[in-house]
C-alpha cells in the first residue's frame, strides 16, 4: 500500500527528534507518502447515488465556468475587496477541511509529509497544478516559510475570461487554501500571498507563505482571515474562519450518543432538542435498527431528568401474562403467588425516563392500564389495590405504523392519541447516507477500543461497499458489520470487505475506481473473496451460506493440523486468537480448553 515511504527503524529514530520540531521540503524523498495514488484512493464515486466522496467528505463536480460566474456575481454585488475577502475565507475553509482529511486518513505521517500533501490534494481537486519550490518550518520557533508555483490556475482563467488582464493577483480562493491547510496542520496562523499571477500576464502564479508574524502588521490578509486586531469584518459574513474552523463541524460532546451530519439526521436532532427539555411524551417511529433506543437515551440525557434512571424495555420481549406485573410491579401474595412485593419498571424509572420499545405488542388490557398511568400519573401494583404516584417520563417507540394498527383494531385509539403528542420519525440509514462515513469512523473507533485492536481504517473497496450498501438492518447492521470487520482484520491493517460481509448481504456488485489514466473504471469485487451466493444477485435464492464454507475451511485446517490450533491458524494465515474467535462463533468444538 504505502511503498516508497518505508524507512528503516534506525533511520526513523535518527530522524525522529528533528522531525518533531523542524522540517523542510528538501528532506522529503521522491514519491513521499501520501502519494497521488494514495490520495486518489480516497476519492469515491457512488454512481447513481448522487454523491462523490473524498474520504468522508461529500464533494460536488461543478463547471469551473460556473464558479467563475459566481465570482463575477459576487464582485458585482459586493465589490472587489469584499469578494476577495470572501473567497480567501472560503478557500481557507477548503484547505482546513483537506488538512483534516490528511490528519484523519494518514495520522502516522509527520508534519513535513502532511504539509507536502496539501499541494497534491489541491491539484487532485482540479483547481490548479501546484509545484512545491520549497518550504521549511520550525515548530519551536513558530516559523514557517514556503514558496509554491501554480500552473494553469482555474481561478485565474475565470478571472481573465470575465475581466481581462488585471493589475493585481486574482487567485483569491486558491490563496486561501494553503493558508487554511497550513494553519490547521501547523497549529499557528500561516498567511499566504500571491505575488505573481497569470491574470497579470505572466506564465504562472507564485505564492509565498509565512507565519503571521512574518508579515507586516497591517497585512490585509489578517483582516480577510479574521486574524486582524481592527475587528472590522466584511459585511454579511458573521463569523471568521478562526471561529468557525478551529471547531469541528460535529460538536464532539462526549455525551452525544447519536451522531450524524446529514440533513435528515439534523432535522431529527433538532426535533429532539426541542422536545427534550419538556415533559412531553415522545413517540419514536422508524424501521427496525434505526437506533430508536439510542435516540431515546439521547433524549433522556438532554432532558432535565438526566440524573434520574433511564429504563429501557422491549414490550415484545415480555410474555403477555407478565406484562402488567413487569410494568407496574406485584404486591405480596398477588396472583403469581409472589412471596414478596416487587417494583415494576415504572417505579424503577421514577424520576427518570421509561423507554417502551415495540409498544404495539402490548396487550389490549395493558394498553388500557398504560393509558391510565399516563393520564393519572399513578400506578397500581398487580394484586395491590392501592395506588402510588410515579414521576416518570414515558418515551415509546414503534417500528410498525400505529395508525394502521388502530384502524385494524389492534391498538387503542385513545392511547395512540396520548402517545402521539410528539412523534419523531427516525430516518432509515439509506435516507441519511451522508452520515455513513462519519458513522464508519465512529464505530471503528468504538470497536477498535473495545476489542483492543490497532486498525488504520478501511480499504478502498470496503469503503465503497459500505457507502453503497442498502442497509436493510439500518444502523444496527452497519454496527455489526464494522464490529465483525474489527475482529477479523489484522492489527495495523485495514478492514476489508471480506472481514465484514458474510456473503448473505446483497452487496453492491461494482466498485468505481479512479485509474492511472484518470478514467473511472468499474471493478467487480473479487467473487472468490466471498461466497458465490450474492453474485447470483437474488434476495431470495441464496444457496450456500458463507458460514458453511467458512466452517468447512476451518474444519479442514483443523483436521490437517491434527487439531492443533496454532498450526491450523498458521495454515489459514490468521492468528490463533482470530481462529479461536471464529471457531467459537461457528460453534466448532476444538477439544481444547481455550484460555
Ligand atoms: Zn494567480
* pLDDT tens digits, 163-213: 989 999 999 999 999 999 999 998 888 999 999 999 998 899 999 999 988
Cα–ligand 1 centroid distance for 170 (angstroms) = 5
pLDDT of residue 227 exceeding 70: no
The confidence band for 588, taking pLDDT boundaries of 50, 70 and 90, is confident
- What average pLDDT does range 571-587 have in this prediction? 76
- What average pLDDT does range 18-40 have in this prediction? 82
More confident residue, 554 or 451: 451
pLDDT of residue 412 exceeding 90: yes
Cα–ligand 1 centroid distance for 163 (angstroms) = 14
The confidence band for 360, taking pLDDT boundaries of 50, 70 and 90, is very high
Cα–ligand 1 centroid distance for 213 (angstroms) = 24
The confidence band for 320, taking pLDDT boundaries of 50, 70 and 90, is confident
pLDDT of residue 317 exceeding 60: yes
Cα–ligand 1 centroid distance for 146 (angstroms) = 16
Angle, CA of 114, 115 and 117, to the nearest 5°: 65
- Grid cell digits, residue 584: 467459537
Cα–ligand 1 centroid distance for 128 (angstroms) = 9
Cα–ligand 1 centroid distance for 362 (angstroms) = 69
pLDDT of residue 256 exceeding 80: no
H-run or E-run covering 370: helix 364-376
More confident residue, 85 or 577: 85
Distances (CA, A) of 110 to 5, 161, 271, 387, 559: 12, 41, 43, 67, 47
pLDDT of residue 63 exceeding 90: yes
Cα–ligand 1 centroid distance for 232 (angstroms) = 26
Cα–ligand 1 centroid distance for 141 (angstroms) = 30
Cα–ligand 1 centroid distance for 127 (angstroms) = 11
pLDDT of residue 226 exceeding 90: no
Cα–ligand 1 centroid distance for 329 (angstroms) = 75
Cα–ligand 1 centroid distance for 75 (angstroms) = 17
H-run or E-run covering 195: strand 190-196
More confident residue, 568 or 444: 444
More confident residue, 515 or 265: 265
More confident residue, 240 or 335: 335
- What average pLDDT does range 109-133 have in this prediction? 93
Cα–ligand 1 centroid distance for 157 (angstroms) = 9
Give the model's pLDDT for residue 594.
Answer: 39
pLDDT in tens, 262-310: 888 888 888 888 899 999 999 999 998 898 988 999 999 989 999 999 9
Cα–ligand 1 centroid distance for 66 (angstroms) = 18
- What average pLDDT does range 548-574 have in this prediction? 76
The DSSP code for 379 is E
Q: What percent of the chain has pLDDT over 90?
A: 36
Cα–ligand 1 centroid distance for 40 (angstroms) = 25
pTM: 0.58
The DSSP code for 234 is -
Cα–ligand 1 centroid distance for 152 (angstroms) = 9
Cα–ligand 1 centroid distance for 147 (angstroms) = 14
- Judged by phi (left if over 0) then psi (alpha if -120 to 50, else beta), residue 193 lies in beta
H helical segments located in 22-153: 36-40, 64-78, 80-105, 111-124
Cα–ligand 1 centroid distance for 122 (angstroms) = 14
Cα–ligand 1 centroid distance for 87 (angstroms) = 13
Please name which of 311, 309, 312, 294 lies closest in space to residue 255, comparing C-alpha atoms: 294
pLDDT of residue 336 exceeding 70: no
- What average pLDDT does range 30-54 have in this prediction? 83
Cα–ligand 1 centroid distance for 292 (angstroms) = 52
Cα–ligand 1 centroid distance for 36 (angstroms) = 23
Cα–ligand 1 centroid distance for 197 (angstroms) = 4
Cα–ligand 1 centroid distance for 208 (angstroms) = 12
Cα–ligand 1 centroid distance for 194 (angstroms) = 7
Cα separation of the two ends of the chain: 35
- What average pLDDT does range 373-398 have in this prediction? 87
Cα–ligand 1 centroid distance for 33 (angstroms) = 27
Q: How many other CB atoms sit within 10 Å of the CB of residue 390?
A: 20
Q: What percent of the chain has pLDDT over 70?
A: 81
Q: How far apart are CA 352 and CA 301, in angstroms?
A: 10
The confidence band for 21, taking pLDDT boundaries of 50, 70 and 90, is confident
Q: How far apart are CA 47 and CA 52, in angstroms?
A: 8
Cα–ligand 1 centroid distance for 60 (angstroms) = 23
Give the model's pLDDT for residue 231.
Answer: 30
Contacts of 444 (CB under 8 A, 6+ apart): 455, 457, 458, 482, 486, 495
Amino acid at each position: 500500500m504505502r511503498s516508497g515511504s518505508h524507512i528503516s527503524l534506525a533511520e526513523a529514530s535518527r530522524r525522529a527528534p528533528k522531525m518533531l520540531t523542524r522540517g523542510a521540503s528538501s528532506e522529503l524523498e521522491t514519491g513521499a507518502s501520501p502519494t497521488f495514488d494514495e490520495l486518489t484512493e480516497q476519492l469515491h464515486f457512488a454512481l447513481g447515488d448522487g454523491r462523490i466522496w473524498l474520504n468522508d467528505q461529500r464533494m460536488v463536480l461543478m463547471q469551473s465556468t460556473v464558479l467563475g460566474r459566481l465570482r463575477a456575481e459576487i464582485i458585482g454585488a459586493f465589490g472587489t475587496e469584499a469578494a476577495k475577502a470572501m473567497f480567501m475565507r472560503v478557500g481557507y475553509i477548503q484547505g482546513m477541511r483537506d488538512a483534516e482529511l490528511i490528519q484523519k486518513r494518514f495520522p502516522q505521517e509527520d508534519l513535513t509529509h502532511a504539509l507536502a500533501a496539501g499541494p497534491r490534494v489541491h491539484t487532485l481537486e482540479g483547481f490548479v497544478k501546484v509545484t512545491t519550490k520549497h518550504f521549511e518550518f520550525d515548530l519551536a520557533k513558530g516559523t514557517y516559510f514556503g514558496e509554491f508555483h501554480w500552473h494553469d490556475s482555474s481561478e485565474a482563467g475565470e478571472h481573465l475570461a470575465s475581466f481581462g488582464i488585471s493589475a493585481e493577483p486574482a487567485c483569491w480562493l486558491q490563496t486561501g487554501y494553503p493558508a487554511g491547510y497550513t494553519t490547521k496542520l501547523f497549529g499557528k496562523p500561516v498567511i499566504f500571498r500571491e505575488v505573481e499571477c497569470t491574470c497579470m500576464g505572466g506564465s504562472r502564479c507564485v505564492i509565498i507563505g509565512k507565519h503571521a508574524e512574518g508579515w507586516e502588521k497591517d497585512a490585509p490578509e489578517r483582516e480577510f482571515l479574521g486574524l486582524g486586531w481592527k475587528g472590522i469584518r466584511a459585511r454579511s459574513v458573521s463569523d471568521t474562519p478562526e471561529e468557525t474552523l478551529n471547531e469541528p463541524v460535529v460538536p464532539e460532546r462526549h455525551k452525544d450518543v447519536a451522531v450524524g451530519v446529514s440533513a435528515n439526521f439534523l432535522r431529527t436532532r433538532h426535533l429532539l432538542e426541542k422536545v427534550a427539555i419538556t415533559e412531553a411524551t415522545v413517540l419514536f417511529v422508524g424501521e427496525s435498527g434505526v437506533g430508536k433506543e439510542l435516540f431515546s437515551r439521547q433524549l433522556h440525557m438532554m432532558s432535565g431528568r438526566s440524573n434520574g434512571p433511564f429504563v429501557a424495555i422491549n414490550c415484545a420481549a415480555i410474555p403477555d401474562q407478565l406484562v402488567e406485573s413487569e410494568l407496574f410491579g406485584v404486591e405480596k401474595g398477588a396472583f403469581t403467588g409472589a412471596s414478596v412485593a416487587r417494583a415494576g419498571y415504572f417505579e424503577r424509572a421514577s424520576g427518570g425516563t421509561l423507554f417502551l420499545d415495540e409498544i404495539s405488542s402490548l396487550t389490549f388490557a395493558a394498553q388500557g392500564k398504560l393509558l391510565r398511568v399516563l393520564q393519572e400519573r399513578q400506578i397500581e401494583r398487580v394484586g395491590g389495590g392501592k395506588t402510588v404516584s410515579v414521576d416518570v417520563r414515558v418515551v415509546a417507540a414503534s417500528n410498525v405504523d400505529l395508525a394502521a394498527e388502530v384502524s385494524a383494531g389492534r391498538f387503542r385509539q385513545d392511547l395512540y392519541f396520548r402517545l402521539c403528542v410528539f412523534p419523531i420519525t427516525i430516518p432509515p440509514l439509506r435516507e441519511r447516507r451522508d452520515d455513513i462515513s462519519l458513522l464508519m469512523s465512529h464505530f471503528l473507533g468504538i470497536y477498535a477500543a473495545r476489542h483492543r485492536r490497532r486498525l488504520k481504517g478501511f480499504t478502498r473497496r470496503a469503503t465503497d461497499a459500505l457507502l453503497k450498501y442498502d442497509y436493510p438492518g439500518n444502523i444496527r447492521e452497519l454496527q455489526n458489520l464494522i464490529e465483525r470487520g474489527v475482529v477479523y482484520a489484522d492489527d495495523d491493517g485495514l478492514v476489508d470487505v471480506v472481514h465484514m460481509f458474510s456473503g448473505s448481504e446483497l452487496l453492491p456488485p461494482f466498485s468505481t475506481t479512479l485509474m492511472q489514466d484518470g478514467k473511472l473504471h468499474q471493478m467487480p469485487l473479487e467473487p472468490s473473496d466471498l461466497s458465490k451466493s450474492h453474485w447470483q444477485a437474488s434476495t431470495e435464492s441464496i444457496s450456500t451460506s458463507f458460514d458453511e464454507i467458512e466452517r468447512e475451511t476451518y474444519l479442514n485446517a483443523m483436521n490437517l493440523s491434527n487439531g492443533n490450533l496454532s498450526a491450523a491458524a498458521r495454515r489459514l494465515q490468521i492468528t490463533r486468537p482470530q481462529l479461536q474467535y471464529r471457531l467459537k462463533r461457528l460453534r466448532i468444538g476444538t477439544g481444547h480448553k481455550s484460555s
